[in-house]
A and B are shown apart, each in its own frame.
Chain A
Amino acid sequence: MAITGKAKRKIILNITGYLFIAPLLIYFIVFQAIPIFMSLYYSFTDWSIGHSARWVGLRNYQDLFFNRVSYPYFWKSLGVTLKFVVLVVAGTLVASLFMAILLNAVKRSAAFFRVAIFLPYVTSTVAVAAIWKWLYDPLYGLINYFLSLIIPNFQNVAWLKEEKYALAAFAIMVIWQVSGYYMMIFLARLKSIPEEYYEAARIDGANIWQSFRHVTLPMLRPATFYVLITLFIISFQVFDIVYILTKGLGDPNKSTLTYVLELFNHAFRYNEMGIASAMSFILFIIIAVVAIIQFKVVPQDVE
């Protein structure tokens, strides 16, 4: 079999190419693809580490949906998470867009504010949790202190320990932590809106609100779309901050027991790996469905 010089070179080139992608490819296969398919398999089995897996078909899924005795917090954790998603997505969207618009208008020390606002995003969650724990403290916390200055006869509140406030308190922490990042994305997009559009709007007699509504918002669509999708995913998967501040228990009275926290507990506290795998696939499907809906419904292009 004769191989021409040209063909040989092509083969070598190809091999080189594959060699370059090999590290990532191997990493992906060994640490992501294989575990994902294995957990899909395990979601159809009754499996705890130490016992061999026993095929049970769809029973894990059935139990999660209908067995309120063995899995009393499946629906509750889903509800908690949905509330949390709504709070975080809405809060972050408004906060980051607002800050981006302010920063876009400010000319002086803009770099300082950009860094200051971005900083929480690169701060470790453990540190964020420790700071906010003290801010929320019922007797010594600054939040109660400021509220007592504004509101006469204000009764201190244990924000993280009251069922009606705890989840919102967590949402505020997360909004504070991630807004800086989304602010950057909005800001980058804002900077790219040509000044002429605003000029044209002004000539047409548009006021500030109208030019925001009809120029800024439509021009921001690609950024808004990205922000919505990623925010939805990260807030649906919230785990670490709740795990740190409630020691994994979702207190008070399970009002902060998020879906992924409950998933973690099933896997590593109650040793129910099959159930935990099933929960992770339900989560996957929920996120996929919502992402598809967002792709279809939310406008992505500037027209």
Chain B
Amino acid sequence: MKKVLLWSLVLVICISMTATMSLAGCKKAAEETAPAEEATEEAAAEEVVEEAEPVEITYWHFEPREKEAKDALTQAFDMFNAQNPNIHAELVMVPKDDFNVKLQTAVAAGAGPDASIIDQPLVATYASQGALLSLDGYISQEEKDEFVPGALETNYYKGELFGLPLDFVCVALYYNKALVPNPPETWDELLAIAEEVSDPDNNIAAIQIPGGGYGAWIWPAFVAAAGGTMLNEDQTEAAFNNEAGQAALQLWVDLIELSPKNIREAGDAFPAGHLAFLVSGPWEYEGWRANYPDFKDYGITLIPMKTQYATNIGGQNLVAYSSSKNPDAAVELLKFLTTDEIQSIPKILFEGNPSKKALKDLYKDDPDHQVFSDQLQYATARPAVVNWIKINDEVVATAIDRAFAGESVKQVLDEAAEQANAILATEPQ
């Protein structure tokens, strides 16, 4: 009696599992056929030449928000498949919000793609797991030299190259022309103008610099502008508490004191005319073009320097996976996607700035955009350590917040450095 029940239950579970699997199978088949249909026109021409069965590779990309961007990507893949009759590359677009979790689980389960786009700081994470294909044997020195150094730098883990830079963002300095006719070039000028224009009684704050984890992403730009680095050369110990780091944080504290929170934190404070300066990325002016079409009275310039021009860097890299059965084909695709030709296709880059030196002046006609391209030439990569996000969020962010709250810059940085060193000691060897 009990046995019968048990068996019927087992049967039900089996049926439901088969059903789920075949459903999943259907979904996969549907996904596979969709791009194939689009490509049939080109494929028809190709098939005549084709003799050997082409190798199949899969590539994952963030799903672009705009249709033009999707079309540009699809077009690039059609070109690749047409140029390489022995490879068939399939493009899979995954929404950006789900991308990391999906990729993480798929790679762990051995069902990941052959190649993909990837968030910069995750290169170290995946490389430390041995999940990425080392590109040292594939990419020549000449090829490396074609990339903007700061962008290429984000692809190294323990001295080995694991990816190619695709597109990049960094922060630059926005200034309100009504308040600041001549933009500053040095820290002293920046601080002098800030003191002059700050006028809390009339709701004018000097600058908006975010605190917390987001501020911690921007702060290295100022450390580098003072000639410092976040970690030592071997990336084993914190260096941000040296003189450059202290000067950078002190500058922020001085600027923030001229920028009351109840003005600088207002929504859209800059286009509304409440801020003289804003340190941020290209998404700001893109948003204003859409939401404040009449607001034109701003300029963008390089981050002022103490000893040198510098900025931070964020963006996307391209990687191939060590589990790929066709690593040569995967690397071929990465090289193709970073050619000058492909990078110049309008809208194809996710955040807008190409990583190739030759394309530095791609946006000559759009001065706002061009500034970021210029600024990018001075970018320094985040430290390539697995725990960097944690150090950013839990250590550097806290130091900035504490300094903003009035604690001594030297003391908060020394304590942060000690804590960062303890976390760095747990890095995988």
Contacts and interface: CB of A to CB of B under 8 A. Distances in A.
Given A50-B107, A140-B266, 9 more contacts: A14-B5, A18-B5, A22-B16, A50-B125, A158-B266, A249-B213, A251-B214, A251-B401, A269-B393
B262 A157 contact: yes
A11 B5 CA distance: 8
Contact of B125 (A26, A155, A271): A271
Contacts of B401: 251-254
Contacts of A218: none
Q: Is the interface of B mostly helix, strand, loop or mixed?
A: helix
B4 A50 contact: no
A251 B212 contact: yes
Nearest to A51: B129
A268 B101 contact: yes
Nearest to A71: B394
A153 B293 CA distance: 35
Contacts of B344: none
Given A49-B104, A133-B267, A156-B262, A139 B16 contact: no
Contacts of B267: 133-134, 137, 139-140
A22 B9 contact: yes
Given A70-B422, A251-B212, A270 B13 contact: no
B108 A253 contact: no
A247 B11 CA distance: 46
A76 B261 CA distance: 24
Interface residues of B, number: 46
B139 interface: no
Interface centre among A70, A72, A249 (most CB of B within 10 A): A249
A268 B103 CA distance: 12
Contacts of B269: 139
B261 A269 contact: no
Contacts of A157: 262
Contact of B214 (A72, A163, A249): A249
A18 B214 contact: no
A270 B426 CA distance: 13
A154 to B, nearest CB: 11
A99 B8 CA distance: 52
Residue of A18, A138, A251 most packed against chain B (CB within 10 A):
A138
A137 B266 contact: yes
B397 interface: yes
A265 interface: yes
Contacts of A251: 211-214, 401
A139 B9 contact: no
A252 B16 CA distance: 48
Contacts of A158: 261-262, 265-266
Interface of A: 11, 14-15, 18-19, 22-23, 25-26, 48-51, 69-70, 72-73, 133-134, 137-140, 155-158, 160-163, 246-249, 251-254, 265, 268-271
Interface string B1-23: 10011001100110010000000
18 contacts: A15-B8, A22-B9, A26-B12, A50-B107, A69-B422, A69-B423, A70-B423, A133-B267, A138-B265, A139-B263, A139-B274, A140-B266, A140-B267, A251-B213, A251-B401, A254-B401, A268-B101, A271-B104
Nearest to B390: A270
A23 B402 CA distance: 53
A137 B108 CA distance: 43
Interface in B227-264: 261-263
A137 B5 CA distance: 62
Given A18-B12, A26-B16, A72-B394, A252 B263 contact: no
Interface in B386-429: 387, 389-390, 393-394, 397-398, 401-402, 405, 419, 422-423, 426
B100 to A, nearest CB: 7
A182 B267 CA distance: 33
Interface in B201-222: 203, 211-214
Nearest to A272: B390
Counting chain B CB atoms within 10 Å of each CB, the highest count among A51, A134, A248, A268 belongs to: A51
B203 A139 contact: yes
The 5 lowest CB-CB distance pairs between A and B, nearest first, are A50-B129, A253-B401, A139-B266, A251-B212, A138-B262
A139 B273 CA distance: 12
B212 A253 contact: yes
B105 interface: yes
Contacts of B168: none
B287 to A, nearest CB: 15
B131 interface: yes
- In this complex, the member of A49, A51, A160 whose beta carbon has the largest number of chain B beta carbons within 10 angstroms is A49
Nearest to B109: A49
Q: In this complex, which of B8, B405, B419 has the most chain A Cβ atoms within 10 angstroms of its Cβ?
A: B8
Contacts of A19: 8, 12
B212 A252 contact: yes
B126 interface: yes
B390 A253 contact: no
Contacts of A14: 4-5
A76 B100 CA distance: 28
Contacts of A155: 262
Contacts of A25: 9
A246 B211 CA distance: 11
A160 B211 CA distance: 13
A252 B211 contact: yes
A138 B16 CA distance: 55
A157 to B, nearest CB: 6
A143 to B, nearest CB: 12
A23 B387 contact: no
B252 to A, nearest CB: 15
Contacts of A70: 422-423, 426
Nearest to A155: B262
Contacts of A160: 265
A138 B263 contact: yes
